[in-house]
Structure 1
């Protein structure tokens, strides 16, 4: 008797795909999205399938898996992933799913192992994913080579780890080459995570990103952050003042002297890097604007490096200063729930209590993260109202939000059309 093949169930999201493609094709540019994009469970499922399972995601830092056998895990929706350091420093990523009966292999957020061993029936895998042991009960003809762990695409650059669950991920190498160049002064092989926090926001992930992409709200919401942060990203900002432009010119000359990259680089709307000064007289994102760590990062000789701002859509923004860095990762948990993880990085030889005080280092961004959480949650509550309809973005203050929403809409439409070729709709 021929074994039955797995029946293909009709796509339960097919109607949602049609409706989503139509809404995106007909959306009003420079306006917020229709309500379902922020609170509908079916549309959230599409976000996970068409964005988070197909784009490159920031997963973590290479310093978090420093030696052979070091691993970290994360959840991309319903897809558990493991990232592990193998032989010769190689970084591997796999679906954190045993090929026997599907149990998760690694149950902790981080750790170190000699081999990857399933806690259920002790199937054992090499760090490169090969199945080494499945017990004698599988029979003499069992082919170990046919049951290795399923790989996940992984790339590293500048101390960052990016993963993609797609069969064929989008191109990213140009950005990674530039990221490596911009972070070379920081010697990212010699950093460590000084402190880490995760907060759960009761808001859709896109609201979390939209809030981050503008400082329209900063004056009314972020007193701690504005002790050091300039409102403008760069001199292209239409609101940039003559005084800011003069400060930028002066600081860029200093950075040139130190051979530290600062030029604004864009890779479509997905990736962006720029170094911009902090407020004149401040050198770090701390309450007093002074260094949080006495030991500077990498080969830097001055703490006055402004902030190297790095954007990676759909799930990360970052600030690199002379004395420490702050990296952020956004992961959706549900239609109205998102986890934001923040990590503060310092030179690996910096000594806690001597070179830095973790509480002092994290104070500004702990306050800012909580303020942003409240803003996003109140935004979500209002959007859930029957009174909500898409509202206009300010092209002067919210151009970063416009770029994000455009990027999201373009990628969602393109990925939807690839999944369902009959959806041939262009944005209006």
Structure 2
């Protein structure tokens, strides 16, 4: 198991524009460092706000060693807490999602209000102060319909992403969306391989026949470095969308930790369907036309998303172990859309259910090959894998900075 100093040295020694070395994808020490330096310090996508439509609705997630509860309180605000009873540490909510009026520990029935205050703890004797035993909070923010959490005591700034995401997502009307379907799978590969696979479509033509009916694998459609790299088709799409009130142009964080851009689908396709037509008869929010394409949003380390005219698909990535990653997908539709009338669930979900499973197989075979002693890092394609280069540079830069040894004190 590598130490932090060994990880730091290997990251500094990596070959630019090449895959990472074997240990950085499978070593237990690297996994622990990733958790400590990234997953426990950065803002993480937890769930769409549509998963919590009513006070008392909740979702749970496991971030490394931390079980987390995200719940809507009686005033409608979204809150997050460590999913741990303040009595003897029992996990409070085991289900991935549910509804409750009071959070009750299943062990000794300590109960908590939806805002985290301890409501009842029987037979605790004189001098017991319930106010001292509320649930421990986790930072939570609603970014235009996407709920983010951060485990750090002092979370990094989020204002730039929050403001930009709220503006770009507003036409999708996520505040009046509902969950049509949710699916969770485990991919037997390191979380970085899951993100790398998402950041390129070099593999799409050979791996995703259903997706490629509507989603172009032309690298200029998802160019990572902005308008100067975009195709004339992209520029024309941006102009059309913005004339209709849809923010569309490429925008990103200075370090590319997040990016938004609206791209057209192939041949004026309307949605991710086998027919290429809309999956849902009722458009989302204020979307002005069916062929608005997909608003792409990624945010490292754990989410990518597609917002179309008729539905949205949001993804959450969570590390499980050095060699396993959980991927959860939500399909969102307008709250007034009725299954069986406005959409057919199979038509809505079949393309991305297939794509997720295809990506799972790709990641697992990628991980299997990397585990071989014969593996050595190969070069990334300068045409198709700029997004992977950018992700790996972000990861390596962040880890190198956070694992750097403290400067030695000057001798007196």
TM, length-normalised to structure 1: 0.91
Q: Within the alignment, does 1:186 sit opposite 2:172 as a pair?
A: yes
Pick the aligned partner of 2:85 from 98, 103, 108.
98
Residues 1:115 and 2:102 are matched in the alignment: yes
Deviation at 1:234, TM superposition (A): 5.2
1:326 shift after superposition:
1.0
Distance in 1, Cα, partners of 2:408 & 2:78: 37
Is residue 54 from structure 1 mapped to residue 18 from structure 2 by the alignment? no
Distance in 1, matches of 2:266 and 2:315, equals 22
Alignment of 1:421 onto 2:406: yes
2:71 equivalent in structure 1: 84
Hey, what's the Cα distance between the residues in 1 that align with 2:172 and 2:161? 17
Match of 1:131 among 112, 118, 139: 118
Partner of 1:5: none
Q: 1:358 aligns with which of 345, 364, 368?
A: 345
Secondary structure of the residue aligned to 1:195 is strand
Q: CA deviation at 1:87?
A: 3.0
- The SS at the match of 1:344 is strand
Query: Does 227-236 or 65-74 show the bigger shift?
Result: 227-236
Query: Structure 1 residues 20, 239: CA separation in 2 closer, same or farther (over 3 Å shift)?
Result: closer
Is residue 207 of structure 1 aligned with residue 188 of structure 2?
A: no
Report the counterpart of residue 70 of structure 1 in structure 2. Answer: 57
Equivalent residue runs for 1:195-344 within 5 Å: 195-232=181-218, 237=223, 245-267=231-253, 268-344=255-331
Partner of 2:332: 345
Q: Does the Cα contact within 8 Å between 1:271 and 1:310 map onto a contact in 2?
A: yes
Q: 389-398 or 95-104: which moved more? A: 389-398
Tell me by how many angstroms 1:131 deviates: 1.4
Q: Deviations over 1:308-334 (max 9, x none)?
A: 000111011111110011111111111
* 1:87 partner SS: coil
1:397 counterpart SS class: coil
Q: CA RMSD in A?
A: 2.1
Query: Match for residue 10 of structure 1?
Result: none
CA distance in 2, matches of 1:171, 1:20: 27
User: In 2, Cα distance between the equivalents of 1:170 and 1:75?
Assistant: 20
Question: CA offset at residue 378 of structure 1?
Answer: 0.9
The answer (yes or no) to whether the contact 1:325–1:345 under 8 Å persists in 2 is yes
> Residues 220-266 of structure 1: CA distance to partner in whole angstroms, max 9, x if unpaired?
111111100122465683999xxx83433433332123111101001
Alignment of 1:161-180 (within 5 A): 161-180=147-166
8 Å Cα contact 1:416/1:423 also seen in 2? no
CA offsets 1:59-93 (integer angstroms, 9 cap, x no match): 00111111111111111122110011113211110
Deviates more, 1:48-57 or 1:96-105: 48-57
Task: Answer yes or no: is the 8 Å Cα contact 2:111–2:118 preserved in 1.
Answer: yes
Matches within 5 A, 1:2-21: 16-21=3-8
Aligned mates of 2:362, 2:241 — CA distance in 1: 35
Does structure 1 conserve the Cα–Cα contact (< 8 Å) formed by 2:222 and 2:263? no
SS, match of residue 385 in structure 1: coil
Contact residue 234 and residue 274 of structure 1 kept, 8 A: no
Q: Secondary structure at the match of 1:203?
A: coil
For these two proteins, the number of residue pairs brought into alignment is: 406
Q: Secondary structure at the residue paired with 1:24?
A: helix
| Structure 1 residues without counterparts, runs of 5 or longer | 1-12
Alpha-carbon distance between aligned partners in 2 of 1:239 and 1:85, rounded to the nearest angstrom: 38
- 1:353-388 per-residue CA deviation (whole Å, 9 max, x = no partner) reads 111111111111111111111111111111001111
Q: Distance in 2 between matches of 1:423 and 1:251?
A: 54
> Which secondary structure does the structure 1 equivalent of 2:75 belong to?
helix
Q: What is the CA–CA distance in structure 1 between the aligned matches of 2:350 and 2:232, rounded to whole Å? A: 30
Where do 5+ consecutive residues of structure 2 fail to align? Answer: none
The alignment partner of 1:49 has SS state of helix
Q: 1:156 aligned to 142, 148, 152, which one?
A: 142
Q: 1:145 to 1:415 in 2, by over 3 A?
A: farther
